[in-house]
Homo-oligomer: A and B are copies of this chain.
Amino acid sequence: MKNCIVAQSGGPTSVINASAMGVFKANEELHYFDNVYAGINGIEGILNENIINLSHIDSEVINRLIYTPSSGLGSCRYKLKTYEDNKEEYIKLFEIFKKHEIDTFFYIGGNDSMDTVHKLSNYAKEHNLPVKFFGVPKTIDNDLPVMDHTPGFGSAAKFISTIALENKLDASVYTAKNVFVIEAMGRDTGWLAASSCIATLNGEPVVDLIYLPEVAFDEAKFLKDVAKKLEEKNSVIVVVSEGIRTADGTFLGEMGGTGLDKFGHAQLGGVCSYIKNVITENGVCKKVRAIELSTMQRCAMHFASQTDIDEAFNCGFAALKYSAEGESGYMIGIKRVSNAPYKSETFAVHTSKVANSIKYFPKEWINEEGNNVTKEAYEYTLPLIMGEPKIQYENGLPKYAFITK
């Protein structure tokens, strides 16, 4: 018997299941492995032998999983230590692989997961163990180096832009001046906040000001930016990254977290509520609304990008295909072949080039004022959000699959 196992790791996305099902479907077509197993809850679950055989799952459920957001196989936030620091774990893991006759392990995740693939692949080579390891990219943050973009980003970008667009319409109905603040994810990089540049109305950008972690946040400058925009229009839309920080490196999200309410509860406001307070307390605008998109932006399959779903699936498919002749320790990336018409293809890259590394939003795509992005950012992001998802409906809602419980 020659089996493979696929698992998911880190924060979910709308399309991570499409990648897992890409691995499974590729094997249905190519028959490289006798069984495709899934490790439930990532490497942590595999260590607990929480393993299922995907062939035992109804094919209708498999097809629905492609259009089901979040990690259908569960996830974990488990940073594998080095072999020297945790020999028992490595030994146990390879015993489990041997027991289930695992030839190949596919890990779908971001930087940390690629670090795991890298470590396990090296360990297997050094100890002549017959298991190969491959990575499949996943992160809404879009911060993996080498590749053009990551599966998960396009769908999150589409949701963020749609929310900006719709709430611009909502914020514009009254005659009173107002500011609407949207907080996007992205602790280290501004890709998600920047993606809101896609939203337009009558050809004009919807978002007036965008603040990224790549630019030091200056409160006085920010207040001036907002005041200036409020002179031009009634309703000003601001998008901020959760990771914006001041010149000395202090995260804004941490600055609002020290207040206590009258019961002594800590008031842990996010960046957007901090920003809201800054605007009102400084008298720049009385009417400010702030929304934190939180996990909604990483699981909004109901309005995901079909391009993103297809590419996520293709990455899983390509990983299985590559595994037959490819060398262990590699991962799949996405290359942009052309932008108009948009065309992408997959390629293989060694995990050492991706693990523990970050791709920042390009400085040259940020405007001189440091409060918005350029046309290049718009052109980069636009093709990634294209296409409406082919989801099934039941009783007026998307019909999602749920197999782990």
State which of B265, B274, B281 has its C-beta within 8 Å of the C-beta of A277.
B265
A162 x B398 contact (CB < 8 A): yes
B277 x A266 contact (CB < 8 A): yes
B267 x A69 contact (CB < 8 A): no
Per-residue interface assignment for chain A, residues 235 to 255, with 1 indicating a CB less than 8 Å from any chain B CB and 0 otherwise: 000000000000000000001
Q: How far does the Cβ of A222 sit from chain B's closest Cβ, in whole Å?
A: 14
25 residue pairs of the A-B complex, CB under 8 angstroms, read A8-B173, A12-B173, A41-B174, A41-B175, A68-B169, A69-B170, A70-B170, A72-B169, A76-B175, A158-B396, A162-B397, A166-B296, A166-B398, A167-B295, A170-B299, A201-B400, A255-B261, A264-B281, A265-B277, A268-B273, A269-B273, A382-B395, A382-B396, A385-B395, A386-B395
B256 x A265 contact (CB < 8 A): yes
A298 x B169 contact (CB < 8 A): no
- Whole-angstrom CA separation of A162 from B399 in the bound complex: 10
- Whole-angstrom CA separation of A75 from B169 in the bound complex: 11
A198 x B400 contact (CB < 8 A): no
**Chain B residues with CB below 8 A from A70, complex form:** 166, 169-170, 172-173
**Chain B residues with CB below 8 A from A402, complex form:** 169, 172, 201-202
B302 x A162 contact (CB < 8 A): yes
**Chain B residues with CB below 8 A from A268, complex form:** 273, 276-277
- Whole-angstrom CA separation of A173 from B302 in the bound complex: 19
**Chain B residues with CB below 8 A from A161, complex form:** 397
Q: A166-B70, A291-B295, A396-B387 are in contact. Are A77 and B171 (CB under 8 A)?
A: no
A200 CB within 8 Å of chain B: yes
A44 CB within 8 Å of chain B: yes
A334 CB within 8 Å of chain B: no
Per-residue interface assignment for chain A, residues 375 to 392, with 1 indicating a CB less than 8 Å from any chain B CB and 0 otherwise: 000000010011110000
- Whole-angstrom CA separation of A392 from B76 in the bound complex: 39
- Whole-angstrom CA separation of A402 from B398 in the bound complex: 29
B396 x A198 contact (CB < 8 A): yes
Please give 15 more A-B residue pairs, beta carbons under 8 A apart, in addition to A41-B174, A158-B396, A256-B265.
A70-B172, A74-B172, A200-B397, A202-B402, A255-B261, A255-B263, A257-B261, A261-B269, A261-B274, A263-B281, A267-B277, A269-B269, A269-B273, A291-B296, A303-B303
A130 CB within 8 Å of chain B: no
**Chain B residues with CB below 8 A from A172, complex form:** 70, 74, 402, 404-405
Per-residue interface assignment for chain A, residues 151 to 189, with 1 indicating a CB less than 8 Å from any chain B CB and 0 otherwise: 000000010011101110111111100000000000000
Rank and list the top 5 A-B pairs by shortest CB-CB distance, nearest first. Answer: A259-B259, A70-B169, A267-B267, A265-B277, A75-B173
Chain A positions 292-342 with a Cβ under 8 Å from a chain B Cβ: 292, 294-296, 298-303, 305
- Whole-angstrom CA separation of A291 from B77 in the bound complex: 22
A199 CB within 8 Å of chain B: yes
**Chain B residues with CB below 8 A from A264, complex form:** 281
A278 CB within 8 Å of chain B: yes
A166 x B396 contact (CB < 8 A): no
**Chain B residues with CB below 8 A from A262, complex form:** 255, 258-259
- Whole-angstrom CA separation of A77 from B173 in the bound complex: 10
A260 CB within 8 Å of chain B: yes
Q: A267-B256, A396-B305 are in contact. Are A167 and B296 (CB under 8 A)?
A: yes
Q: A258-B261, A398-B165 are in contact. Are A291 and B292 (CB under 8 A)?
A: yes
**Chain B residues with CB below 8 A from A260, complex form:** 259
Q: How far does the Cβ of A154 sit from chain B's closest Cβ, in whole Å?
A: 9
A294 x B298 contact (CB < 8 A): no
Most buried by B among A162, A199, A397: A397
